[in-house]
Amino acid sequence: MVSKTPPPPPPPPLRGDDEAPSLSDKETTEGKNSGPRKRPVKTRYILWAAALAATVALLINFTLAGSSREQVTYTNFLTMVEASSVTEAKYNNNNGGIDFSTAAGDFRTTGPNPLPDADHELIAAATKLEFATPQPNFFASIFPLLLPVMLLIGFFVWMQRRAQGQMGSIMSVGRSKAKTYTTERPGTTFDDVAGYDGVKKEITEIVEFLKHPAPFAQIGARIPKGVLLVGPPGTGKTLIAKAVAGEAGVPFLSVTGSDFMEMFVGVGASRVRDLFESARKMNKAIIFIDEIDSIGRKRGTGVGGGHDEREQTLNQMLAEMDGFETTEGVVMMAATNRPDTLDPALLRPGRFDRQVVVPLPELADRKLILAVHLKGKRTQKDLNIDLIARGATGMSGADLANLVNEAALFAVRRGRDQINGSDFDAARDRVILGIERLTVAQSPEHLERTAYHEAGHALCAAVQNNHDPVHKVTIIPTGMALGVTMTLPTEDRHTLDKAEAEARMTMAMGGRVAESMVFDEFSSGAANDLVQATNIARLMVTEWGMSAVVGPMSLADGGPVFLGADMMQSKNYSPDTAKLVDDEVRRILNEAEAHCRDLLTEHRKGLDLVARALLEHETISGDEVERLVKLAQDEPNVASASETVGASR
């Protein structure tokens, strides 16, 4: 039984359906009016056609060489000769064939070779007999000898061409794999990026420099050589980079960091050189490297040192970024969600001068993004986008796109032709918590334990003023949990004060304490709750400075994340301090558990009502939880929750 306040979901891109079609480098450099080119006639096609024609001619020759005469036996032929029916006959000295004619037609037979004297005299006396020795066709006689030679020659030619193709691919392995996006077709602009006004304002200078570089040159100002977009995955960093290219109207060369890595030594550095050379030929261009951390990691880190090929690629990129002037009109942009892993030489002034943070969208931004993804979808007219955006805290653009799609799928499953708010509620639960496992069978005892566990969480969240309000409580197995208590914040929150942190720990302890009060024992269902509470308590002591015993001291381990780089580093505090931290964390958790027990003891009647309502209805809303708790306070003698819940429904 895992019940908790669900963590923010992983973030997705703003939009991914507005990518400009890619063109090859050849298509980019050629003009639109260059006209179609005539394709050269391939010599190998002519040779194949000639060989086919020769084969057809040979088959025709063999076919025509055959006789259309009717075949008879040699005995019948002699009978016809004795009856004086044969007028003339021609004997083939090569194969013993006899072509003869009668009044009834032309026939053919095969006799002995050579012809016996008796038969020769008989035939010669009765008919006009001729002997012939036909010469074979020269082409037909030499073709069987030439055929193996031709096959051998063709095989060697094929092997030679194959080897040349492999050599050509090997020689071109060092060329850049960047995709080029031009302005010949509709591209992405800032209008395609919903929200993020602060990010757009930050990078507007890049657009102005590429459009109108003269004012910058006159005053002596230089534009940043590189702009690094930093943010969680899926926040639209690539889309924003394309929007910069679309607004500026310059070519956009897009490549990922993994495209520089190959099995051959030196390929990464060669591709870096080719990439920057292609950008210089375009006069004005934007080079965009996605996931630059794959080649820009700190050098000399990890067990046994860094990857030599990757480091040489990074060295070449650093040299190229120093090699082009800001007046060339080439701007480099990159995106990463791990800026702490990048090499310091890559982030110094003169290379990536500016870092632009692309955070998770705020409430206002989420409304705009939802409006973009809802275009073209049939929704109810009274759909409350504000409520949906408020319930999507922590979601990025891709998460919101997935949320809208899941809501549409739920509407189809339920047989509706429009998307309503209940579909979005189900979609949010599906995205955050997981799918409902309706096939999980629980005994009545375990189901009652789950109900009291979730009721303890819900009651602690409902009666504390510093906690987010309860949105929904269910004992239907969802995802990996047997029950879930979901809370939703009323507004976006970027900081957490001490009272709020203590309220969250108290709420996390609610399920465990409720089980101990009702059943006089603990279960493994509170495992994840203890993990959450312990993490909050440790952050309060080591990073947030909320412990009077430890004081205003940060004990966070913010060292390198590479395997091996932190193995040789010791903790930045002594063993005595570590024991002090553990004791303080234990004290905070014990106080949170004691506070939770006091709350549940005070509202024990409300705990019973919420648990019974869950057993009867499986899922109840946050408003019903608050009403049941208030009902237990106002009417202590109430015994059942079914009537009140049914009335509210």
pLDDT band at 271 (very low <50, low <70, confident <90, very high): confident
d(CA 496, CA 503): 11
- For residue 614, pLDDT over 80 is answered with yes
The more confidently predicted of residues 573 and 375 is 375
Share of residues in the chain with pLDDT > 70 (%): 76
Q: How confident is the model at residue 513 (pLDDT cuts 50, 70, 90)?
A: very high
Across the strands, what pairs with 128?
88
Are 372 and 483 in the same domain? Answer: no
* Predicted model pTM: 0.61
Q: Up-side HSE of residue 285: CA atoms within 13 Å toward CB?
A: 24
Task: Tell me: do 518 and 418 sit in the same domain.
Answer: no
Report the Cα 378 to chain-centroid distance in Å.
Answer: 27
pLDDT tens-place string over residues 8-19: 444 443 333 333
**Mean pLDDT (whole number) for 123-141:** 71
Find out whether 459 and 606 touch, Cβ atoms under 8 Å. yes
Among 73-77, 147-151, 440-444, the range with the most confident prediction by mean pLDDT is: 73-77
| Whether residue 401 sits in one domain with residue 261 | no
pLDDT digits (tens, 9 = 90+) for 525-571: 888 999 999 999 999 999 898 988 888 888 876 544 444 444 445 56
Point out which residues pair with 324 in neighbouring strands: none
Average pLDDT over residues 65-75: 71
Alpha-carbon gap, residue 649 to 645, rounded angstroms: 6
Tell me whether residue 514 is in a domain: yes
Q: What is the DSSP secondary structure assignment for residue 250, as one 8-state letter? A: -
What CATH number corresponds to the domain at position 399?
Answer: 1.10.8.60
Domain that holds residue 453: 444-648
Encoded tokens for 195: 């929200």
* Domain C-terminal end among 432, 455, 474: 432
CA 158 to chain centre: 39
In a domain, 572, yes or no: yes
Spatial separation of the C-alpha atoms in residues 463 and 448, rounded to whole Å: 22
| Span 307-350, pLDDT tens digits | 577 777 777 778 877 765 554 677 888 888 888 888 888 888 87
Question: What was the pLDDT predicted at 538?
Answer: 93
Q: How far is CA 401 from CA 188, 235, 498, 587, in A?
A: 18, 12, 35, 43
Confidence class for position 641, pLDDT limits 50, 70, 90: very low
Q: How many domains is the chain built from? A: 4
131 has pLDDT over 60:
yes
Same domain, 378 and 316: no
Domain boundary among 340, 357, 374: 357
Sheet holding 330-336, edge to edge: 179-181, 252-256, 285-290, 330-336, 226-230, 352-357
Same domain, 590 and 630: yes
Are 212 and 353 found together in one domain? yes
Closest Cα to residue 562, out of 381, 338, 412?
338
Same domain, 488 and 521: yes
pLDDT at 137: 63
**What is the CATH number for 560?**
1.20.58.760
Give the gyration radius of the chain's Cα atoms.
Answer: 43
pLDDT at 265: 60
Asked if 343 and 370 sit in the same domain, the reply is no
Alpha carbon separation from 544 to 390, 440, 577 (Å, rounded) = 27, 41, 16
CB atoms within 10 A of CB 383: 18
Is the confidence at residue 239, as pLDDT, over 70? yes
* 388 and 528 fall within a common domain: no
Give the residue numbers annotated as catalytic, written as ranges.
Answer: 454
**Residue 117 predicted with pLDDT over 80:** no
Q: Is the pLDDT of residue 645 over 70?
A: no
Q: Is residue 156 assigned to a domain?
A: no
Per-residue pLDDT at 565: 46
Q: Would you call 545 exposed, middle or buried from its count of C-beta atoms within 10 A (0-12, 13-18, 19+)?
A: middle
How are beta strands 252-256 and 285-290 bridged, if at all?
parallel
The per-residue pLDDT for 453 is 93
In a shared domain, residues 236 and 382 = no
Residues 194 and 242 in one domain: yes
Answer yes or no: is 594 within a domain: yes
CATH code assigned at 123: 3.30.720.210
Exposure string of 202-214, with b = 16+ CB inside 10 Å and e = fewer, is bbeebbebbeebe
The mean pLDDT of the chain is 76
Q: Name residue, tokens 């708010």.
A: 421
Question: First-to-last CA distance in the chain?
Answer: 26
Residue type (1 letter), 345: A
